[in-house]
Chains A and B, each alone.
Chain A
Amino acid sequence: MLRKTMAVAAIAVASLAVAGTAHARDQIRVVGSSTVYPFTTAVAEQFGKTGKFKTPVVESTGTGGGFKLFCGGVGPDHPDISDASRAIKASEIENCAKNGVSEIVEIKIGYDGIVLAAAKRAKHIDVTRQQLFLALAKEVPVNGKLVENPYVTWNQIDPKLPTQKIEVLGPPPTSGTRDAFIELVFEHAAESFPELKELKKTDEKAFKKAYSSIREDGGYIEAGENDNLIVQKLDANPNAFGIFGYSFLEQNEDKIQGSMVDGVAPTFDDIASGKYAVSRPLYIYVKKAHVGQIPGIKEFLAEYSSEKSWGKTGYLADKGLIPLADGERKEWATKATSLVTLTK
């Protein structure tokens, strides 16, 4: 029996050597943002159902991790498409170019709203971005000076807000949602405080540090990347608020409600029209060099940019994607079909 096992092991090891040689790939590979993941997977599944091509494999690596893999090089060992919950950075384009990935097609697929939500039975609140900053930043301006966040209850910030403890469940630092929240809420709010504005002029770095630090004294609770868990916790605790993507609000609107930010509630229409302030565009990036090499990329992009997927009543809207405006959609669809590459 031992001899047999040894023989099988030898075969296994030999097969590794065979597998080691580069292989052609007949399946699209997508990496990147966990925010875009639910949408790209939905398109991938529809695309696979037509039966002409294999269903693309979609990995959720985070936007930054996705670009790292995407920019790794050209060839079947590297992914074809990268999902991103922000636009590609100049440094990432450079890194791509260094590895021979010079032609990148950018496609904006829609918007994602970041919501501040609470249990349905909790009091409905309307906060401004400045108030959110005061409630959640590590250091806030008080009487002209930056001090450790002194606010414990919401009504200390504004008497109109409820008399309850500040308790917000949100994503950890590794999350793109948190980056976007800091950029869209904190950075914007910080500039409206004269103390911080002054700091921006004198010391840009210190300003960035001041607005991008979230308090660590218990007012903001890192709840991990699992947004379903936040929803369950909100449902159990009417005093708590949670921060997550709009798709989780949409799927759970019988349990939780979105709070108004700057007087606008996070509804499908108001995020789409840009009235709701805390929203960001979502993108996919395609390696042009792989089109024609890996079968189906063109067809996949055609499926992604078709009205039945990213249109107003398409299946991506059902998954919580906020579609682009009609004109914008047409423009990006043309870019997707004609593979317009990024220029620096």
Chain B
Amino acid sequence: MTETTQMARLGAVRPTAEIVAARLKRRHNAERRFRAVGLGAVLLALGFLGILLFTIVGNGITAFVQTYVRIDVTFDSALLGIEGDTGPDALAAANYQAIIKQSLYRTFPEAKTRAEQRQLGAMVSSGADIDLRKMLTADPSLLGQTRSLWLLADDDIDMAVKGHIPRQQGIAGNRLSDNELRWLSELESRGAVETRFNTLLWSSGDSREPELAGLWGAVVGSIFSLVITLLVSFPLGVATSVYLEEFAPKNRWTDLIEVNINNLAAVPSVVFGLLGLAVFLNILGMPRSAPLVGGLVLALICLPTIIIAARAAMKAVPPSIREAAAGLGASKLQVVTDHVLPLSMPGILTGTILGMAHALGETAPLLMIGMVAFIVDIPATPLDPAAVLPVQVYLWADSPERAFVERTSAAIMVLLLFLALMNLSAILLRKKFERRW
């Protein structure tokens, strides 16, 4: 208000051109400020994304390698407890831990007391025996021989090698005793410590030992769940939207349904989990923790997204196409299946993939149906218990062992990779099939 009166007063004395120039300048300045604010917002968002990615990658990148130590292992049949009997059953049940411990004691003979030997034995992972079992079962002639083998290191040793646990001796409360640190340095000086690509992370299921824990069980669980989700939500969603968009009369009922579908899209996902618990588990008696149930619950979450996207895509098909088809004698069904659906498919697929990407990142609804659980075995069918990727992230983030910190970040990276791939395919599909009228 004061500004306009001021301007009016100034206007009385200044020539018009000057006023216009001043006003123009002010308008340009306003625009420049607006642009700067917009750009600032984008940069801020990118900055946060950068920080997020930087911390996750910084924390997690080391989880993709794993430390191994080289030890001379003697396949001593007396220690293995399989004297005489070398059948496959005996080889499978043999005590491989004993020969690993014995080999460690021989490598570091200065460890004499029980406490020292315990520390020494703990340097190699409790899962290292699996490799030895595989070797000996494949080649029983190894019995009695000595081989120089790379064994999986314990998680604390792994953390020390990667620099997450201090290497100086004499720190009170360090996870690794001075003895262990000295032995580790000695192994390193002999070239008997190596980091390799962490294959277990990709091939095994969950474990309480960080060095043995893998994502494969969760990846398979996620794939099973998403396939079920797709099989259920895509046909249902498309059928619903075809009916609502092309066939249903426009009346109060369809309006009500439409409002409700839009509302469903905003319902917190944990509510769908409760629904799944009540209907699928308690009434239908389906198994707990199964990807089948997880997929069904996630399908419910996806449905509104798919329906809304599919209806929008069908609305975008010009009426002239429907009219032309009808004019040439096509029935209503033919118009839909031969013209409307193919033309709206890119939009429907994009919506579906975005809905699935959303489903991939859900944990809350799965908590209710028992998928947030410690599951070691890799699921073979959608009826077997399984976890999914975000659940694995959640479980590892809550584990006390230090080595799970980097593995949590690694799991997040894998999850983000999947999400990025799904979103990328959505973009490519749209690019490829998109039509402009």
Contacts and interface: CB of A to CB of B under 8 A. Distances in A.
Given A42-B208, A228-B398, A251-B175, A5 B234 contact: yes
A303 to B, nearest CB: 14
Contact of B402 (A9, A37, A252): A252
A95 interface: no
A59 B367 CA distance: 9
A131 to B, nearest CB: 25
Contact of A16 (B292, B373, B375): B292
Contact of A57 (B207, B208, B375): B375
A257 interface: yes
Contacts of A318: 122
A250 B374 CA distance: 22
A228 B373 CA distance: 19
B94 interface: no
B344 interface: no
A120 B400 contact: no
B236 interface: yes
Interface in A33-55: 34, 37-38, 41-42, 44-45, 48, 51, 54-55
B90 interface: no
B174 A254 contact: yes
User: Which of B172, B281, B374, B377 is packed against the most chain A CB atoms within 10 Å?
Assistant: B374
B399 interface: yes
B397 A226 contact: yes
A20 B405 CA distance: 39
A38 B92 contact: no
A12 B400 contact: no
A6 B398 CA distance: 42
Contact of A254 (B171, B373, B395, B404): B171
Given A6-B235, A254-B171, A58 B374 contact: yes
User: Which of B228, B287, B383 is packed against the most chain A CB atoms within 10 Å?
Assistant: B287
Interface string A57-88: 11110000000000000000100000000000
Contacts of B144: none
Interface in B277-299: 281, 284-290, 292, 296
Nearest to B205: A55
Interface in B118-160: 118, 122, 126
Interface in B204-223: 207-209
A254 B228 contact: no
Interface stretch (A21-29, A184-192, A290-298): A21-29
User: Which of A19, A23, A25, A226 is packed against the most chain B CB atoms within 10 Å?
Assistant: A19
Interface in B370-385: 370, 372-377, 383, 385
Contacts of A27: 385
B289 A59 contact: yes
B287 A19 contact: yes
B427 to A, nearest CB: 21
B39 to A, nearest CB: 33
A99 to B, nearest CB: 13
A90 interface: no
Interface string B10-39: 000000000000000000000000000000
B160 to A, nearest CB: 11
Given A253-B175, A257-B173, A59 B292 contact: no
A315 interface: yes
B232 interface: yes
A293 to B, nearest CB: 16
Given A8-B231, A19-B383, A29 B173 contact: no
B199 interface: no
Contacts of A8: 231
A251 B373 contact: no
Contact of A253 (B173, B375, B399): B173
B434 interface: no
Interface in B332-391: 337, 341, 370, 372-377, 383, 385
A103 interface: no
Contact of A19 (B165, B292, B398): B292
Contact of A2 (B118, B337, B402): B337
B376 A251 contact: no
A37 B208 CA distance: 10
B166 interface: yes
Contacts of A60: 372-374, 395
B231 A9 contact: yes
Contact of B374 (A20, A37, A228, A315): A37
Interface string B395-413: 1011111101100000000
B397 A20 contact: no
Contacts of B288: 29, 77
Contacts of A253: 172-175
A51 B373 CA distance: 20
Given A59-B370, A254-B171, A254-B173, A228 B405 contact: yes
Given A6-B235, A59-B370, A60-B373, 17 more contacts: A9-B231, A9-B232, A19-B286, A20-B285, A21-B285, A27-B385, A31-B370, A57-B373, A57-B375, A59-B289, A225-B398, A227-B400, A245-B400, A253-B173, A254-B171, A313-B118, A315-B126
Interface of B: 92, 118, 122, 126, 165-166, 171-175, 207-209, 228, 231-232, 234-236, 238, 281, 284-290, 292, 296, 337, 341, 370, 372-377, 383, 385, 395, 397-402, 404-405
Interface of A: 2, 5-6, 8-9, 12-13, 16, 19-23, 25, 27, 29, 31, 34, 37-38, 41-42, 44-45, 48, 51, 54-55, 57-60, 77, 120, 225-228, 245, 247-248, 250-254, 257, 313, 315, 318-320
